[in-house]
Amino acid sequence: MAQAKRVVLASRPVGEPKPSDFRIEDYAPPTPGDGEVLLRTIWLSLDPYMRGRMSDGPSYATPVPVGGVMEGGTVSEVIASNNPGFAKGDIVLSRAGWQTHALSDGKGLGKIDPTLAPVSTAVGVLGMPGMTAYTGLLDIGKPRAGETVVVAAASGAVGSAVGQIAKIKGARAVGIAGGADKCSYVTGELGFDACVDYRAGDFPERLNAACPKGADVYFENVGGPVFDAVLPLFNPFARIPVCGLIAQYNATELSPGPNRLPLLMRNVLTKRLTIRGFIVTDFAARFPDFIRDMPQWIKDGRIKYREDIAEGLENAPQAFMGLLRGKNFGKQLVRIAE
């Protein structure tokens, strides 16, 4: 068997991750023992939450240890099996991380039916990002017909699904994205009612114009100046699912400028806002509903998706650093093997 490769955390980043924070290692592919399977990674999912795993500060999950394999969801092929539950050739959803091969005892593996959809969707629109959009919007945002739903990072894996689900539920969808190409995609391809470029010098004014009736739901993926622009638009009883804060993940200190907390808390009080952070696993019980609805919406053409593919494990660090800078266009994947 060919030599295996893995990407490990070489050092904890201070601020923005840099190439030296990662190390690519060669190793001999392991041999499965009793009850184990050997996995070969086909697709690696890159997601913003991974930045948090690189740090050792307080969080909802255990950080990757220095020298440990970078964490991540994968689509893998079973290439050897001593587990009666899996056969050679099975395609599975796994947490193999940033490596070409991995052992598993079968726990936590989920078989993927490659006839239903491209298998890459198992770590995209039909996987964690899609379910994050589905549960965050429907269980926390609870959009009603005629309301305005504002979505940050609207061209990304989660945001793109949020806006389309909002439209399915009869709401008006307003996206926020970086650059004219992404905004054109959000309105022209995904069907949002409007999309505003956060890089524009008059971004707050443009966002205000795109939301003439204010904002009833704001799906937060970004934080920072984007949230500052949305804050004045909240209607009474607006709901804010907080999924991510990518603008702040590399911060090493509090943002400069005036203290905005009093303004935020005054809005929370006077407008009776609901702000709730969440992790997709909070809503694990909703998976049957998600996997019933989302594939059908895709089949019906009501949900569309886009993938941004990097080739080869050695390019995963660069693709991930680009993701944190907003350089990806759609769900960021790395193709490890055919």
Q: Check: CB of residue 131 under 8 Å from CB of residue 165.
A: no
Instruction: With CA atoms as reference, report the closest residue to 167 among 301, 308, 274, 278.
Output: 301
- Residue 285, judged by CB atoms within 10 A of its CB (0-12, 13-18, 19+), counts as exposed
Largest CA distance in the chain: 65
pLDDT per position as a tens digit, 235-267: 999 999 999 998 888 877 887 888 889 999 999
Name the residue type at position 286.
R
- Average the pLDDT over 32-53 and give the result: 96
Whole-number pLDDT of residue 27: 94
Percent of the chain predicted with pLDDT > 70: 100
pLDDT band at 204 (very low <50, low <70, confident <90, very high): very high
